[in-house]
Structure 1
Amino acid sequence: MGMKKQSALLLALCLFALVLAMCLYSAPRLAQEATAYAQAAPVVVIDAGHGGEDGGASSPDGVLESGLNLQFALRMRDLLQFAGVETMMLRETDTALYTDGCSGIAEKKVSDLKNRVLRTNQAPNAVLLSVHQNFFTEAKYRGAQVFYAKTDGSRELAEAMQAALRTGVDPDNHRQAKPSQGVYLMEHVNGTAVLVECGFLSNAAETALLQDEGYQQRLSAAVCGALTEWLEGRGTEDEV
C-alpha cells in the first residue's frame, strides 16, 4: 500500500474515532436533557366544570352551564394540542366525577371535587384551566372574566388571559382578573391554576353568544393563545 493511501486511511480512522468518542460523550448528556425536558414539560389539565346530574347554572330559558363548559373545554383542548401543548381532560362527556358508591347530591358533589383535585395534582407539572359560566341575579351583567389561584404564576397567567379576551373578543369588556375565593378546586391544587368564566347565563344576549360556534372558537383561541405565550415565556425563564 502506498504512503498516500496509508495516510488517508489513518486520517479516516482518526476521524471515525473522534466522531465515535464525541457521540459516546454526548449521548448521556443528551439523554439527561431529554429526560429533564420531558419532566419539565407542562400538562394543561382542562376542567369542564360540573357535569352529569350537576348541571351548574342555568339560563332563564334552560341552557345548562355544564354543557357549555364542555363545548368550550373541548375547543380549548383541540387548539392547545394543535399548538403542541400536552393536555389532559378531566371529563370529555356529560358526566360527573364522583366515586362509585356515593349516594345523595351532597356526597357526590364532595367526591367529584376531591377527584378533580386528585387528578389535577397527579398530572406532572400541571397547569389547571377550569372552564365555567357565570350567573347573577341581575341580567345586565356580561363579559368573560378570569380568576386565579394563590399558586405561583396563576395571577400572571390570568391577567394575560384577561387582556387577550379584551383584545380578541370584546374590547368593551373592562373586567379585571381577580383572585378566586371559596372555590374548592382552586384552593387545593398545587400548581398554576386559572378559572375562566366565559360569560353570564343570566344575560340573554350573552347566552346566545355563548352558544354560537364562531364565538366559542374566538373566545377559546384568545384563552389558548395567552396560555401558550405564557408557557413559552416560562420555558425561556427556565433556560436562563
Structure 2
Amino acid sequence: MARRRNNRSSRRNKKRKINKIKLSVLIIIIILFIAGTFKLTQGAILAIQNINDNKQKTSVKESSENDNETLQTEVDKNINKKYTILIDPGHGGNDKGTIANDKVTFEKDITLKIGALVAQKLTKQKDVQVIISRNEDKYVSLADRAKLANEQNVDALVSIHLNGQTGGSDATGLEVYYTKEKDDDSYELAKQIQETITSYIDVRDRGVKSDRFQVLLQSKMPAVLVECGFLTNNEEVKKLKDEEYQNDLAEGITQGILTYIDENMKK
C-alpha cells in the first residue's frame, strides 16, 4: 500500500512539473508572438513614413529642377524678391559676334551658355529675381535689350560678351566696361565683377574700363559689359569653349553681382 501511495504521489508530481513546463513554454510563445507582432507593426509604420518622406523629397527636388529650367524674360512680380537683375547674353541669331579663327566658334553661342549659368546661379538666391534678354539663339537688338531693362525696372544690367583683336591674335584677358555718362553705381558693379572673376580663375586682369556702349548708355540703372576673353586668341578660345571654365566665369560674375548687392544696393 505504501508503495502504491508513493507511486501515485510521484506521478502527480511529474504531471505538475510537466504542466508547469507546458505553461511556461506557452507563456514564452505568447510573449514572442506579441513581440514579433509589435516589431512587424513598427516596421510597417516606419516603411510607410519613409515612403511618404521620399515622395515629399522627390516632389521638392523635381520642383526645384523645373524652376531652374525656365529662365524668365520678364519679371514675375514675386513680392518676396527684393532685387531684380537682367542678364544679357550678347549677340544672337544672325548676329554671330566675334568669330574664332576656326570659323565655327561664335561669340553668340558661348555668351548664351555663360549667361544661362549666371541666371541659374542667381535664381538660387532668395532675395534675387533674374530675367534674361534671350534664352535661345535669336537676335535681340541693342535698343530692345535696354528697353527690356527699363520697362522691367531692373536694379542692374550685366551684359556678357567675348572680345576680339583686330590685326592680331596675341591679346588675352578679361575686362569689364561701364560708362561715365551715367551718374550711378555702374563703376562699383564693374569693379566688383572684375575683382571677383580674377580671384576665381587664372586669367589676365585687363581692369575696369569706360566706353560708350549703346546698351549701357540707354539703360537707366547701373549697367556693365563683361568681356570674358578673346576669341581671336587660339589658346584662350580653348578655355572659353570648356564647360568647366564657363562655369567658373559664371560663378565669378554671380559672386561679383551678389557682392555688389551686399555692399551697394543695401545701403
Length-normalised TM-score, structure 1: 0.73
Counterpart check, 1:164 vs 2:164: no
**Contact 1:40 1:125 (C-alpha < 8 Å) held by counterparts:** no
Query: Which secondary structure does the structure 1 equivalent of 2:137 belong to?
Result: coil
CA distance in 2, matches of 1:161, 1:195: 10
**Contact 1:42 1:124 (C-alpha < 8 Å) held by counterparts:** no
**Pick from 120, 145, 157: which aligns with 1:78?**
120
Structure 2 regions of 5+ residues with no counterpart?
1-77
**Pick from 119, 137, 157: which aligns with 2:148?**
119
Corresponding residue for residue 248 of structure 2: 218
Corresponding residue for residue 107 of structure 1: none
Query: Which secondary structure does the structure 2 equivalent of 1:226 belong to?
Result: helix
> Would you say how many aligned residue pairs link Structure 1 and Structure 2?
185
**Pick from 146, 169, 176: which aligns with 1:146?**
176
Corresponding residue for residue 52 of structure 1: 93
Report the aligned-residue RMSD: 1.8
CA distance in 2, matches of 1:235, 1:155: 13
Query: Which secondary structure does the structure 2 equivalent of 1:197 belong to?
Result: strand
Corresponding residue for residue 176 of structure 1: 207
CA distance in 2, matches of 1:40, 1:149: 28
Query: Which secondary structure does the structure 2 equivalent of 1:191 belong to?
Result: coil
**Pick from 130, 134, 142: which aligns with 1:87?**
130
**Contact 1:136 1:200 (C-alpha < 8 Å) held by counterparts:** yes
**Contact 1:44 1:88 (C-alpha < 8 Å) held by counterparts:** yes
How far did residue 41 of structure 1 move?
2.5
Corresponding residue for residue 23 of structure 1: none
How far did residue 235 of structure 1 move?
4.1
User: Superposed, which structure 2 residues align to 1:12-27 within 5 Å?
Assistant: none
The structure with the larger Rg is 2
CA offsets 1:155-205 (integer angstroms, 9 cap, x no match): 0111111111221112x5231101123x11111110000110110001011
Corresponding residue for residue 232 of structure 1: 262
CA distance in 2, matches of 1:64, 1:53: 11
How far did residue 236 of structure 1 move?
3.3
**Contact 1:41 1:125 (C-alpha < 8 Å) held by counterparts:** no
CA distance in 1, matches of 2:228, 2:265: 27
CA distance in 2, matches of 1:214, 1:60: 22
Structure 1 regions of 5+ residues with no counterpart?
1-36, 98-111
**Pick from 117, 131, 134: which aligns with 2:163?**
134
CA distance in 2, matches of 1:191, 1:39: 21
User: Superposed, which structure 2 residues align to 1:178-193 within 5 Å?
Assistant: 178-181=209-212, 183-193=213-223
Corresponding residue for residue 64 of structure 1: 106
CA distance in 2, matches of 1:124, 1:39: 16
CA offsets 1:193-227 (integer angstroms, 9 cap, x no match): 01101100010111110010110011110111011
Letter in 1 for 2:216: M
Letter in 2 for 1:91: R
How far did residue 39 of structure 1 move?
10
CA distance in 2, matches of 1:225, 1:196: 14
**Contact 2:81 2:129 (C-alpha < 8 Å) held by counterparts:** no
**Contact 2:177 2:224 (C-alpha < 8 Å) held by counterparts:** yes
Change (3 A) 1:57 1:235: closer
CA offsets 1:83-130 (integer angstroms, 9 cap, x no match): 232110110000012xxxxxxxxxxxxxx2221111111112431010
Share of identical aligned residues, percent?
Answer: 29
Higher relative contact order (CA 8 A, sep 6+): 1
Query: Which secondary structure does the structure 2 equivalent of 1:54 belong to?
Result: coil
Deviates more, 1:156-165 or 1:189-198: 156-165
Length-normalised TM-score, structure 2: 0.66
